[in-house]
Amino acid sequence: MTRFGLTEVGGRGYSRRMTSHCPPGKRHRFAAAVVLLYAANLAAQIVPDAPTPPANLAEAPPPERTPAPRPERQDTADMGGPGGSRGPGYTATWYPSRPVSASGDSGFGGLPASVGMVRQNLNAGVPLLISPPDLLVLNARVGHTLFQTDAVLPDTARPFPSQLWNVNLGLLYVRKLDDGWSAGGLFGFGSSSDRPFASARELNLTAMAFLTRPAFGGRDSWRFSLFYTSAGALDFPIPGVAYQWNPSERLSVGIGIPFSLNWRPTDDWTLTASYLPLTNVNARLARKITDAWSAYAAYEWLNESYFLAGRENRVDRFIGLEQRVSGGVTRELGDRFLADAHAGYAFDRRYGEGANLFGSLRDRVDVRGGAFLGASLRMRF
């Protein structure tokens, strides 16, 4: 499976410079933040924290490069669950069985068919090298979707897949350059299939390169990226150019591709949103209830893609799309863990096979909308 998403954790809580005398604890927090911002969410989101420059930049002295103090942690902006962070942790979602739509699809023997499923994801990241100005991180992900279905794929009469796997292991490298620049890359290897690693046809390669250039005296930044995954719903590299605008401590906007928004109008409310072409949209409104409890409402438009073993056309992907709205609560467990429970309604759910999202899908199966339940346990930094 290939799912894209952008984190909204990119606040000013981490220094823009890595120095050799940085305490080990802070270095580990920085490494963990980079895992969340680059590897899990496919975007360079290190927000510079130099002070806001004077109005006349031509006459202003160079901005100081001293690390900014870490602000109070945003308890509602960096949580798991729908519309939230995709950082280290475990997530499980249950979709009860729903009938397929009246599009000619049916089960064995011509009987009406239904599709239910349980989706699980486990993410982890481990720093291998923290030697300023270099950072090397090993990240791993295992995703599994188990279907309960009697549906068949209508064009080829093959059974609907009983399970789908996404197994991936990757290396992330980040280097801090002179004058606040940073650059790096990500390389991943794995398999996204109903029968992972069954043959070379089911292997998935992922690569990303990114460059961050400071702007407006260090307050803002330009972000350039190029991302490609061989099992993606788009069968070509996705370029990214975005301007990260940080007018205040409460507002950060990535203008371009990918798009991101993190806005805290008050201490208790947080609005986050993100977009990555073509159908990866996340929006979330969260409210802090107590120091430990928060509630939220979220919207997501997602896609996933796999290489089915035994497919006739090597380039074909088995693509799934869905939209969903949800609400949930989160609970802080100690200083580093967050538990999440949520429920919602999924709609516009469909599966089919094709070379990419632009063409018509063959073997299309539409699943009627229905409720779902989910829970997660994640780490934060």
> By the 8 A CB rule, do 353 and 363 touch?
yes
Task: Report the C-alpha gap between 321 and 301 in whole angstroms.
Answer: 8
Low-confidence ranges of the chain (pLDDT < 50): 1-80, 84-85, 102-109
Nearest partner of 243 among 273, 219, 209, judged by Cα: 219
Per residue in 301-341, pLDDT tens? 999 999 999 898 999 999 999 999 999 999 999 988 999 99
Per residue in 258-270, pLDDT tens? 999 999 999 999 9
Task: Report the C-alpha gap between 291 and 332 in whole angstroms.
Answer: 8
Per-residue model confidence (pLDDT) at position 7: 35
Task: Report the C-alpha gap between 321 and 295 in whole angstroms.
Answer: 26
DSSP state of 179: G
- What tokens were used for 375? 């829970």
Rounded to the nearest angstrom, the gap between the alpha carbon of residue 47 and the centroid of all alpha carbons in its chain is: 18
Rounded to the nearest angstrom, the gap between the alpha carbon of residue 246 and the centroid of all alpha carbons in its chain is: 21
Q: How far is CA 117 from CA 148, 279, 374, in A?
A: 6, 21, 12
Amino acid at 298: A
Residue with tokens 């999202």: 357
> Around 293, how many Cα atoms within 13 Å sit in the side-chain half-sphere?
6
Alpha-carbon torsion, ordered 211, 48, 127, 306, to 10 deg: -50
Dihedral sign for Cα atoms in the order 93, 96, 99, 101: negative
Amino acid at 58: A
Per-residue model confidence (pLDDT) at position 81: 56
The neighbour count for residue 89, using CB atoms within 10 Å, is 21
Q: Is 269 left (phi over 0), alpha (psi -120 to 50) or beta?
A: beta
Task: Report the C-alpha gap between 296 and 82 in whole angstroms.
Answer: 9
Per-residue model confidence (pLDDT) at position 111: 53
Nearest partner of 160 among 119, 202, 100, judged by Cα: 100
Residue with tokens 């911002």: 37
Judge residue 260's burial from the number of C-beta atoms within 10 Å of its C-beta, 0-12 exposed, 13-18 middle, 19 or more buried: buried
User: Which DSSP helix (H) or strand (E) runs through 372?
Assistant: strand 370-379
Task: Report the C-alpha gap between 217 and 249 in whole angstroms.
Answer: 16
Q: Is 133 left (phi over 0), alpha (psi -120 to 50) or beta?
A: alpha
